[in-house]
Amino acid sequence: MRSDPKEGDVGEASPTRRGPYAKTAERRQQIVDEAYRLFATRGYHGSSLREIAAAAGMSLGSLQYHFGSKDDLLVAVLARRDELSSGAAVPPGAGSFADHIVAQAERNEDIPGLIALYSVLSAEAVTADHPGRDYFLGRYDLLRADYAAELTVLRDAGRLREGVDPAIAAATIVALWEGIQLQWLYTPESIDAAKTLRSYLDLVLT
Amino acid sequence: MRSDPKEGDVGEASPTRRGPYAKTAERRQQIVDEAYRLFATRGYHGSSLREIAAAAGMSLGSLQYHFGSKDDLLVAVLARRDELSSGAAVPPGAGSFADHIVAQAERNEDIPGLIALYSVLSAEAVTADHPGRDYFLGRYDLLRADYAAELTVLRDAGRLREGVDPAIAAATIVALWEGIQLQWLYTPESIDAAKTLRSYLDLVLT
DNA sequence: GTCTATACGATGATAGAC
DNA sequence: GTCTATCATCGTATAGAC
């Protein structure tokens, strides 16, 4: 995956770099915010760079100076997503594993646009040459590893149901979470994502 | 959702319509077959109408005579998908519910391109104006209703674990199935979709 | 270093000739 | 029905103003 047309990558203010003022970081932030909003609304392919540039109050060329390609902009938006909804990883040993997951799922209901963006991109990025592929590959691995580690701890404490494989249960949680959120996006009135997740966790934990 | 540039919609031979010979149905079938193959290979946005037309041995204009828009072609491909892998619905009372689902999941591993297409489209189509939205809305409702009905029968036979809600379990199966297939598309070597599904069903059924 | 202006090839869509 | 223009818009690339 190509990246890094400029320095910092994510978009933090880089006070140590190059001269008295660095408007670049702020401009990049503006662009990412608008791209984030438009991607969440219309999807990745449904949003044009000209649209995003206009929303951020600049020309197309200026946007492309900060982000060399639409792909670069996408990975910046994904990084921004992690920034905003951090706490997805499980702090080991802190509080109830199930409560933590359900609470996060409930919080997700406040940001349907973001969930939709994530769902769209995670499926779009399956194709071999997609710029977001590496991001989702790493993210799934990380989530499964986190959950499997937590479930292994619970198993050793005798709180995992007999015969349940922590690795399979971890993949199940990730899969169920994404799948039920997708159904919720279609029919929010008839799907309760948090309740469905809780129902599975109650089945597996004791 | 716009649709129906011509008559039948799906692509069946329409012998009663308009004149002695109806090449239209066959032409439409050729187009849908090639579009199906290319969508499954390169994705929806990755395939151009010119490509599809060339693969079907005709010009762009000719293809667009049969399908007024790329959206129309998409819904035809989705309908074709249901045609080919019918049996997704559960024949009531026939054989084991769990075996049926697991067997279907195993068969899906032979058509990864199609699974990828389905995953991409199901997420893309969440946006309000997407041409495939109604298709997936109806499909999720149908699947959940089928599974819930089957699970209710099993519950009345005392074969559903105590405390499990058939409706929630039905939504869980659909969600888990789609979610685990997506993970499998990313890392087929470390994910066993059929086994993961079986693991959940074993947990719920007795 | 930041930005505007302009152009390129490819896309989905449309109109009209045969 | 099938075809060949033709169109606006897409992502991208480059030249040059300040």
**pLDDT tens-place string over residues A63-84:** 999 999 999 999 999 899 888 8
Whole-structure pTM over 0.85, yes or no? no
Q: Which residue is nearest to nucleotide D10 (CA to C1')?
A: A48
Six token digits for residue A86: 């951090």
Q: Band the pLDDT of A151: cuts 50, 70, 90.
A: very high
d(CA A145, CA A141): 6
Distance A69 CA to D15 C1' (A): 19
Question: How is B35-98 classified by DSSP, letter by letter?
Answer: HHHHHHHH-TTTS-HHHHHHHTTS-HHHHHHHSSSHHHHHHHHHHHHHHHT---S--TTSS-HH
Which pLDDT does position B120 carry in this prediction? 78
Per-residue pLDDT tens listing for chain B (206 residues): 433 344 434 444 443 444 445 678 999 999 999 999 998 888 788 899 999 999 999 999 999 999 999 989 998 998 898 888 775 555 655 569 999 999 999 998 988 877 887 887 888 788 777 778 888 999 999 999 999 999 999 999 999 999 999 999 999 999 999 999 999 999 999 999 999 999 999 999 98
Q: Band the pLDDT of A44: cuts 50, 70, 90.
A: confident
Pick out the nucleotide with least CA–C1' distance to B46: C11
Helix (H, G, I), strand (E, B) or coil at B5: coil
Pick out the nucleotide with least CA–C1' distance to A26: C2
Select from A123, A161, A172 the Cβ nearest to the Cβ of B119. A123
Pick out the nucleotide with least CA–C1' distance to A49: D11
Select from B116, B175, B183 the Cβ nearest to the Cβ of A171. B183
Residue B17 beta carbon within 7 A of nucleic strand C: no
Which pLDDT does position B177 carry in this prediction? 98
List the single range of A44-58, A60-74, A121-135, B168-182 with lowest mean pLDDT.
A121-135
The percent of residues in chain A predicted with pLDDT above 70, rounded, is: 84
d(CA A134, CA A125): 9
Exposed / middle / buried, residue B33 (Cβ in 10 Å: 0-12, 13-18, 19+): middle
Question: How is chain A classified by DSSP, letter by letter?
Answer: ----SSSSSS----TTSSSS--HHHHHHHHHHHHHHHHHHHH-TTTS-HHHHHHHTTS-HHHHHHHSSSHHHHHHHHHHHHHHHT---S--TTSS-HHHHHHHHHHHHTT-HHHHHHHHHHHHHTTSTT-TTHHHHHHHHHHHHHHHHHHHHHHHHTT-BPTT--HHHHHHHHHHHHHHHHHHHHH-TTT--HHHHHHHHHHHHB-
Enumerate long-range contacts of B135-141, CB under 8 Å, 24 or more apart: B135/B75, B135/B78, B136/A186, B137/A186, B137/A187, B140/A183, B140/A186, B140/A187, B140/B174, B141/A187
Which pLDDT does position A90 carry in this prediction? 53
Which pLDDT does position A29 carry in this prediction? 95
CB-CB under 8 Å, B176 with A178: no
- The number of C-beta contacts closer than 8 angstroms across A and B is 132
CB-CB under 8 Å, A204 with B203: yes
Residues 159-198 of chain B sitting with CB below 7 angstroms of strand C: none
Sequence-ordered list of residues with C-beta below 8 angstroms from that of B164, at least 6 positions apart, any chain: A199, A203, B151, B155, B204
Q: For chain A, say whether B171 makes contact (Cβ under 8 Å).
A: yes
Which pLDDT does position A95 carry in this prediction? 67
Which pLDDT does position B15 carry in this prediction? 39
Residue A27 Cα to chain centre, angstroms: 22
What is the overall mean pLDDT for chain A?
A: 85
Q: Band the pLDDT of A22: cuts 50, 70, 90.
A: low
